[in-house]
Amino acid sequence: MAKKRISVWFFSTLTFVALIHLIEAICVLIFNSQIKLLQLYPLINEKLQAITPTAYFWVSAIATFILGGIACAIAFENPVETFLNKILSDAKKQSAVESQMLAEKSELLDVMNETVIMNNTLLAQVKDIIFNVRTEVKEIQPLKENVEELKTEISRLIRETRKLEDSLPYLNKCPTCGKPLRLEFKVCPYCGENIKLIPEKMISLKDYR
């Protein structure tokens, strides 16, 4: 505010001085008198004395108009309008910053969108793989059941074989004590004799049946 007052006072003073010179120029043109005010400038008064009354009038008139306009513009400047203009300027700057931030965020959103699209593609591929695996598992399920049936049958055959072995008669005798022995015995459990001789007679499966 103080700068504004000083500026108004300075340009008002210059306008007043220019107006005095304009009045003198008018008087010189009307009354054909001598120019006296220009003698107040000691350093350039000789050059100013050479100016014509018409040029003196126009220079003083133009200086008065310009300086008066500047003084009025400074004096009648609306502080509210200045404040609003400043707010508008700050708002434009803020808008530019926000636009830049929005552009950066838009690029980030584009990257995120591309990532989501890639993830959706991967998920679709994973779904296809899971579907294929489920289909193969369904195809393998009957094989698993067949394997279980084969295991059951093999277990049954093993049990039957063991029963058959248990039901076989003693096909060998101990040469020392004469006790009947199984074919797989290598030592007589009764007398401890080593069984080395292969029996001459073996009962065939047909004869057993």
**Residues with Cβ within 8 Å of residue 59, at least 6 apart in sequence:** 51
16, 19, 20, 25 alpha-carbon torsion, rounded to 10°: 160
* Residue 132: inside a domain: no
* Domain closes at, from 77, 105, 131: 77
Tokens for 67? Answer: 């300086």
* Residue 11: inside a domain: yes
Band (pLDDT 50/70/90 cuts) for residue 58 is: very high
* Residue 120: inside a domain: no
* Residue 187: inside a domain: yes
* Residue 96: inside a domain: no
38, 42, 48, 53 alpha-carbon torsion, rounded to 10°: 20
User: What is the identity of the amino acid at 58?
Assistant: W
Q: 137-173: per-residue pLDDT in tens?
A: 677 767 777 778 888 888 888 887 667 656 655 467 7
Cα atoms found within 13 Å of the Cα of residue 79, Cβ hemisphere only: 3
* Residue 119: inside a domain: no
- Total domains present in the chain: 2
Q: What is the CA radius of gyration of the chain?
A: 64
Return mean pLDDT, the chain: 78
* Residue 31: inside a domain: yes
- The count of other CB atoms within 10 Å of the CB of residue 193 is 15
* Domain closes at, from 77, 107, 126: 77
Q: 87-117: per-residue pLDDT in tens?
A: 888 888 888 888 888 788 788 888 888 888 8
**Structural domain containing residue 60:** 2-77
* Residue 175: inside a domain: yes
Give yes or no for residue 70 having a pLDDT over 70.
yes
Q: How far apart are the first and last CA of the chain?
A: 133
